[in-house]
Chain A
Amino acid sequence: MTVRAAVVLAAGEGTRLRPLTRNRPKPMLPAADRPILEHVFDALISAGIERLHVVVGYKRDRVQDHFGPTYRNLPINYVHQDKQLGSGHALLQAREAVDDEDGFLVVNGDQVIERRMVADVLAAFEDDDASATLAVTEQADVSHYGGVVMDGERVTELVEKPDTDDYRLLNAGVYAFAPTIFDAIAETPRVQGELALTDTLVRLIEAEADTVDNDVAVRGVTTEGLWVDATYPWDLLDVSRELLLDARVTEPEREESVWVADSATVHDDATLQGPVVVGPDTEVRPGAVVGPFAALGRNATVGENAVVAESVLDTDARVGPNATLLDCVTGQGVSLGANSTVPGGPGDVRVDDRVFADQRLGAVLADRVTAEGSVNVAPGTLVGPNATLHTGVTVSENVTEYAEVFR
């Protein structure tokens, strides 16, 4: 059997990444110079996938607008999930699209993976009896993910968000299935109205454990290779850092670890300190210092003598003269006036009622935040979409959507 089809799950918002997900789903957030989902597509295509089915839901127009009908000449079939009722439910929406396949891949669209992980799962699935297969990878902290226990290649335990630290292996969210998975999902009882794909896998494991023969219900394939995920907004800094270190950037490399798009303009008197990537149509003005570990998206401007380091600036960012941005994540269309300063982490970040102490985060500035001149943002601050920080303001607490902050 040869598997050539993949279902990519890209319908969920990724609520823990708010306020960055106000206008787009997590798969469309920036990972170095392009959206997370592009890295996922690249991994699939280089592993030989030829038919792409993408389940879209939350703010699906953003996925559709970015990729259009094709990616790297492969047609994309968009499947709609109108209500986000879990990963199993999302996969069920694609049933019609892949029911004629002998087998197909399923991957999360919101975690960066690489070719090897996909290839390992495909090889194991294709060589054998086509039982459900998933990629397993070793990570230091498994607590936000699915913990896996294996006996040989057999997965014996699958625990979502384990609260003990006995687990070292996690479910990487790369699966291969035969179409029989759809009946198994349909038979899985909903939990609070939702169908999680892992609930179905747990049922398969448990059902097999009750039988006498020794079949493998769910097989795990231990694989290495790059696997990075952002749980919280500040994780996007680590994601980009990893990708820059691994040179997973598409723009042309101007000198070592300095990638600059052909249509970008970098003034001769500006300094790029690698690793750094400068996106299409972006302008870097005289005296500016960008990098290390800076990713500038499309059509951004970094003003005269501004400093941007350890930061991810998304599409249409405007950084004024003499501004300083350290450890900063911005959404799209963010504008930071002259002399504004985000001095960088560590700082305590408050998300709802939880406080994450000493995170390396300067600030998260969501889509279209406008900071006028000489604004100061204290470490760990989250600023909501379309908020305006007026001249001379110092913000040290989270700012809500559309808020106007005066001195």
Chain B
Amino acid sequence: MCGIIGCTGRAEDTLDVLLSGLEGLEYRGYDSAGVALANGSLEICKRQGELDRLQQAVGNSLRGPVGIGHTRWSTHGPPTDANAHPHTDCTGNVAVVHNGIIENYDELKAELHARGHEFESDTDTEVVPHLIEAALAEGASFEAAFREAVSRLEGSYALAAVTADTEAILATRHDSPLVLGVGDDAAYLASDVPAFLEYTDRVVYLEDDDFARLESGAWTVTDADGQLLDKSVSRVEWDAEETAKSGYDHYMLKEIHEQPRALRKCLRGRVDELTGSIQVDSLEGLSPSSVQFVACGTSYHAALYGAQTLRDAGIPAQAFLASEYATAPAPVGDDALVVGVTQSGETADTLSALREAQRRGVETLAMTNVVGSTATRECDRTLLIRAGPEIGVAATKTFSSQVVACNLLAATIADRGDSREIVEALRDLPGQVQELLDASRAESVAKRFVDSEGYFFIGRGHHHPVALEGALKMKEITYKHAEGFPAGELKHGPLALVTDQTPVFAVVTGDGEEATKTVGNVKEVEARDAPVVAVTDGASDASRYAEAVLEIPETHPQVAPVLANVQLQLVAYHVANELGRSIDKPRNLAKSVTVE
């Protein structure tokens, strides 16, 4: 963790390119940053804290034809200047940046230590420059030394290295993302496209164990044996400027407001109300007998929703936390499908779980937002959610798009011919989200309950994942205690936590059996003096027991969770804003978690 940038061929601009690249990676979350430029000697500057600190420290003094940079999110050792990347060898002639975890670093460090190498940091990364140094000392070329060092590593890594006296960057990856950017007379390297999107939209996606060499603005990619590979250059469509906040104070609020547009894109060309059909090209011919979802965090809540929707359609389906599934997978029957839900397509836990499924010969599907991501390249099929780039660490629009994508998946697999009702509801959804955004009272509800001790969220059926997601959003950005429960579970334990200081957000739509039962649970908490906030379409009498009501438009029960969730996103946002939290970059969290 967390971000890598490198460039060659930009002459005097190297430092500027590296710094703007690091800014482009900021959204991933970081706690320190650094750069190294080579020009006969190595010039390195690194700082704990925000990028501003690095920029002040580095001034405008570093020059060199090649350079690498890094934003770090601490895994081994605390965030300090010393632990920030790039890391160097004993001579100060080799500098390395790294994402991932080197699992055998203890062993390597002990070995290197015994051979007289001195270490300055607590990181796993630092073994790499020393391994390169050791090989160089034995007379190897930079490239041979780099390969020799990499061959000793176990674990996950995206690595980039420079030396004082070559004008080349060497890089490789294993279970951690790395892409090349192809400029006119320049070449770039990054863990993530936004880092260099300002300079080029032509990219080369590296595969595991590819080796890249960037020199004098040109690039080559070879395999582990040094054979030249013929890599194709593709164009990415995302616009670098889309990373801006367009007049909002926070990316999160911008992204909440983008949901109508994102949902329209997710549905475009995939639903036809006239024939009541749902057609997704990449899902053609898919008819598994059972489905297992694997995912983490917010994507897991979308997965829970997806599993329930498939079950409703008569397809056996379950959702699993990817980090658990990777080591303790559930048994699968014949013709099963494993669906990995991951916004970035790079979530390490989800990739592990998908690989575990593939190892067992099960068909896999990546449900993701990122074209060309590892998940899309490794899975048999891809269902793109088309939400556009999401910068806020707390996922908002991607959850809504994932839920809609789950509906597309369920309708395709169940194939009950006429899906007219759900198609109609999905086509109405973007406008209904807009209606909700136009009239939401979430801000006043947030102001009213900002000082509460904690928050509980309850919902039944399709609203159970919404309750979990509402609580997760609240935790992530307000740092306050929040839990979500299936409404019926409240009385089996958590009710003991409910007091007049803990508002309970109850998601209730329609007036069917589920609603009636949830209203019963609402009465239970109301009787214990907890303030109830009803998130409801007004069909049941839930609001009679509520101190505040967040209204959502009436719609198909399967689509209502998207609307209810938008209200809860707004509540979490406004509570965090009242508390002055770092909304787009909450403490300790990263946008895409690329370590297990």
- Say if the beta carbon of A311 comes within 8 Å of chain B: no
B404-455 interface with A by 8 A CB criterion: 427-428, 430-432, 434-435, 437-438
B272 closest partner in A (C-beta): A265
A residues near B437, Cβ cutoff 8 Å: 61
A283 x B431 contact (CB < 8 A): no
B residues near A315, Cβ cutoff 8 Å: 431
Contact of A75 among B244, B254, B435, B438 (CB under 8 A): B244
- Say if the beta carbon of B511 comes within 8 Å of chain A: no
- Say if the beta carbon of A23 comes within 8 Å of chain B: yes
Complex-state Cα separation, A70 to B242, whole angstroms? 7
> Which of A65, A70, A332, A333 is most buried by chain B, counting CB atoms within 10 A of its CB?
A65
- Say if the beta carbon of A56 comes within 8 Å of chain B: yes
- Say if the beta carbon of A73 comes within 8 Å of chain B: yes
A112 to chain B, nearest CB (A): 23
A281 x B261 contact (CB < 8 A): no
A residues near B312, Cβ cutoff 8 Å: none
B435 x A333 contact (CB < 8 A): yes
B240-258 interface with A by 8 A CB criterion: 241-248, 254, 257-258
Complex-state Cα separation, A281 to B260, whole angstroms? 13
A385 to chain B, nearest CB (A): 9
B494 to chain A, nearest CB (A): 36
Known: A80-B247, A316-B428, A333-B435. A75 touches B264 (CB 8 A): no
A368 x B274 contact (CB < 8 A): no
Q: Interface code A201-223, partner B: CB below 8 Å = 1, 0 otherwise?
A: 00000000000000000000000
- Say if the beta carbon of B520 comes within 8 Å of chain A: no
A69 x B241 contact (CB < 8 A): yes
A78 x B438 contact (CB < 8 A): no
B residues near A281, Cβ cutoff 8 Å: 264, 267-268, 427
- Say if the beta carbon of A350 comes within 8 Å of chain B: no
- Say if the beta carbon of B488 comes within 8 Å of chain A: no
B residues near A285, Cβ cutoff 8 Å: 274
A residues near B111, Cβ cutoff 8 Å: none
A333 x B274 contact (CB < 8 A): no
A residues near B438, Cβ cutoff 8 Å: 23, 367
Contact of A68 among B242, B272, B273, B430 (CB under 8 A): B242
B437 closest partner in A (C-beta): A61
B247 x A263 contact (CB < 8 A): no
- Say if the beta carbon of A267 comes within 8 Å of chain B: yes
Contact of A69 among B242, B430, B432, B434 (CB under 8 A): B242
- Say if the beta carbon of B361 comes within 8 Å of chain A: no
B residues near A263, Cβ cutoff 8 Å: 268-269
B431 x A316 contact (CB < 8 A): yes
- Say if the beta carbon of B547 comes within 8 Å of chain A: no
- Say if the beta carbon of B239 comes within 8 Å of chain A: yes
Contact of A65 among B244, B261, B268, B428 (CB under 8 A): B261
B246 x A332 contact (CB < 8 A): no
A68 closest partner in B (C-beta): B246
B residues near A60, Cβ cutoff 8 Å: 247
B residues near A332, Cβ cutoff 8 Å: 431, 434
A76 closest partner in B (C-beta): B246
- Say if the beta carbon of A359 comes within 8 Å of chain B: no
B residues near A299, Cβ cutoff 8 Å: 264, 427, 430-431
- Say if the beta carbon of A330 comes within 8 Å of chain B: no
B residues near A265, Cβ cutoff 8 Å: 272, 274
A78 x B247 contact (CB < 8 A): yes
B246 x A78 contact (CB < 8 A): yes
B259 closest partner in A (C-beta): A65
B199 to chain A, nearest CB (A): 15
B243 closest partner in A (C-beta): A69
B262 to chain A, nearest CB (A): 11
A69 x B269 contact (CB < 8 A): no
A residues near B243, Cβ cutoff 8 Å: 69
Complex-state Cα separation, A285 to B274, whole angstroms? 7
A65 closest partner in B (C-beta): B257
A267 closest partner in B (C-beta): B274
A231 to chain B, nearest CB (A): 24
- Say if the beta carbon of A67 comes within 8 Å of chain B: yes
B246 closest partner in A (C-beta): A69
B435 x A69 contact (CB < 8 A): no
Complex-state Cα separation, A70 to B428, whole angstroms? 27
A residues near B254, Cβ cutoff 8 Å: 64
Known: A65-B261, A298-B264. A283 touches B273 (CB 8 A): yes
A64 x B273 contact (CB < 8 A): no
B residues near A70, Cβ cutoff 8 Å: 239, 241-242, 244
A residues near B257, Cβ cutoff 8 Å: 61, 64-65
Complex-state Cα separation, A75 to B241, whole angstroms? 7
Contact of B431 among A64, A78, A333 (CB under 8 A): A333
Complex-state Cα separation, A202 to B463, whole angstroms? 61
B243-298 interface with A by 8 A CB criterion: 243-248, 254, 257-258, 260-261, 264, 267-269, 272-274
A residues near B431, Cβ cutoff 8 Å: 299, 315-316, 332-333
Complex-state Cα separation, A56 to B246, whole angstroms? 11
B residues near A267, Cβ cutoff 8 Å: 274
B441 to chain A, nearest CB (A): 15
A316 x B430 contact (CB < 8 A): yes
B residues near A19, Cβ cutoff 8 Å: none
A residues near B435, Cβ cutoff 8 Å: 333, 367-368
B residues near A69, Cβ cutoff 8 Å: 241-246
B residues near A156, Cβ cutoff 8 Å: none
- Say if the beta carbon of A280 comes within 8 Å of chain B: yes
Q: Interface code A34-56, partner B: CB below 8 Å = 1, 0 otherwise?
A: 00000000000000000000001
B93 to chain A, nearest CB (A): 41
A59 to chain B, nearest CB (A): 8
> Which of A56, A283, A333 is most buried by chain B, counting CB atoms within 10 A of its CB?
A333
B residues near A68, Cβ cutoff 8 Å: 242, 246, 258
Complex-state Cα separation, A143 to B239, whole angstroms? 45
A73 x B274 contact (CB < 8 A): no
Contact of B246 among A67, A298, A301 (CB under 8 A): A67
B residues near A283, Cβ cutoff 8 Å: 272-274
Q: Interface code A174-204, partner B: CB below 8 Å = 1, 0 otherwise?
A: 0000000000000000000000000000000
B residues near A301, Cβ cutoff 8 Å: 273, 427
B200 to chain A, nearest CB (A): 15
B555 to chain A, nearest CB (A): 12
Known: A23-B438, A301-B273. A73 touches B239 (CB 8 A): yes
B residues near A75, Cβ cutoff 8 Å: 241, 244
B274 x A56 contact (CB < 8 A): no
B residues near A80, Cβ cutoff 8 Å: 247
A9 to chain B, nearest CB (A): 15
Complex-state Cα separation, A280 to B430, whole angstroms? 14
A280 x B258 contact (CB < 8 A): no
A residues near B239, Cβ cutoff 8 Å: 70, 73
Complex-state Cα separation, A285 to B276, whole angstroms? 13
Complex-state Cα separation, A267 to B525, whole angstroms? 53
B431 closest partner in A (C-beta): A316
A residues near B247, Cβ cutoff 8 Å: 56, 60, 63-64, 78, 80
B401 to chain A, nearest CB (A): 16
B244 closest partner in A (C-beta): A69
B194 to chain A, nearest CB (A): 13
26 contacts between A and B (CB under 8 A): A61-B257, A64-B246, A64-B254, A65-B246, A65-B258, A65-B260, A67-B246, A68-B246, A69-B242, A69-B243, A69-B245, A69-B246, A70-B239, A70-B241, A70-B244, A73-B239, A78-B246, A265-B274, A280-B264, A298-B264, A299-B430, A301-B273, A301-B427, A316-B428, A316-B431, A333-B435
Closest 4 CB pairs of A and B: A78-B247, A316-B431, A69-B244, A64-B247
Chain A interface (Cβ < 8 Å from any Cβ of B): 23, 56, 60-61, 63-65, 67-70, 73, 75-76, 78, 80, 263, 265, 267, 280-281, 283, 285, 298-299, 301, 315-316, 332-333, 367-368
With contacts A70-B239, A73-B241 known, what are 14 further pairs, Cβ within 8 A?
A23-B438, A63-B247, A64-B248, A64-B254, A65-B258, A67-B246, A76-B246, A78-B246, A267-B274, A298-B264, A299-B264, A299-B431, A301-B273, A315-B431
